[in-house]
Structure 1
Amino acid sequence: LGIPVSASAGEMFQHVDAVIDFTVPPASVEHAKIAAQFGKVLIVGTTGMNEAQTRQVAEAANKCRIVMAPNFSLGVNVAMAVVEQVAQVLDDAYDIEIVEMHHHHKIDAPSGTALGLGRAAAKGRGVVLDEVACRSRDGLVGARQRGEIGFATLRGGDVIGDHTVIFASDGERLEITHRANSRQIFAKGAVRAALWCKGRKHGLYSMKDVLGL
């Protein structure tokens, strides 16, 4: 196919304009450092990073252009923008629950996309997600706390990715759902992000920046 293959990330970075990285957190951090070294565009779709790893990627973006997002689907990113707007309008009389399902090989939970939707909802409410998130319920946990943002994680089969954000009150329920039927949507979004970076200043960007949301 004429596709170059190398065991050296540094060698590959020197000969390309942009790198699209959907790997694992330690690898993505190293790729960010190499992108900074050579001033290359880096698109990061890796999820499951801790705060220290995320900070290292952000630091690398001082010397290159990085777009980092939990999901590169255009539909998911529009859904995140909608969730933020809905959360601004519907106060905490509406309970927010986020349900996600993925294939049985996925190693992180909740998914990065579910957490991204949670951050969007929290931003709309003017709160910090880590302070209101409930990631598990088991046993006699008592009544649901007002203002909580709950997460439910399902794993099974070959599901590419289903996400639903529920706003439930005592009289109605609003659900915002996205279902991925093909992984091509992630590739198309990542390529769009890479092309968008041309001519941009060094910095850390998100798909909200790419799509102008």
Structure 2
Amino acid sequence: RDHIHYHDSIFCAASKIIQSLQKEGSKHGFIPDKEGGGGFSSMHIRRGDFQWKKMRISAEEWYENTKDYWRKNEILYITTDEKNKTFFEPLARHHELRFLDNYEELAGLSDLDPNYKGMIESVVASRGRIFVGTYFSSFSAYIGRLRGYYGMSGNLMWYGQKDRRDEMQKWVDPKTSYSAREFPIGWSGIDGETVPSEDSF
């Protein structure tokens, strides 16, 4: 966290998107928290060539499995490798959805290395009030860790797959398949003020 981190241009582009989302969210009554997060919520929906086929669920399942986490009229920022936006219609019936390409001009994405896009998205998604990711995705896991670095509780993260949904709601020590999910010991007590434990999760 302190020695290896994203280039400043990544944080700069991400902050423009976050501020835009929060400004839009404020019109619906959603106010960012004191640390500058929230005002919208976020999801990572992994599809494409994802090898864990059971995790590639339908948009209807994504909505049914997560609908209790979202607030009425809350904007959802979705980071995804799904190119067909019609896939998200079951979610769009209930929430305003935003994607990275909605902010192409605002964030000056065409002027940046295209390899930065995933990193920009991880920062944006990490600032959502609630984050729901894809189990077995290291990208979702890292967003969870970023949220921990920002001081957000692991209890504000879920997974979209029903049988894995509550994985972040309990303390689990690292074990095999380290990239499948994030582990709270990755951020809990990182500043040395507390001993990492379930109490500080």
TM-score (norm 2): 0.26
Determine which structure has more spread, i.e. the larger CA radius of gyration: 1
More strand by share: 1
Greater RCO, 1 or 2 (C-alpha within 8 Å, sep 6+): 1
Higher helix share: 2
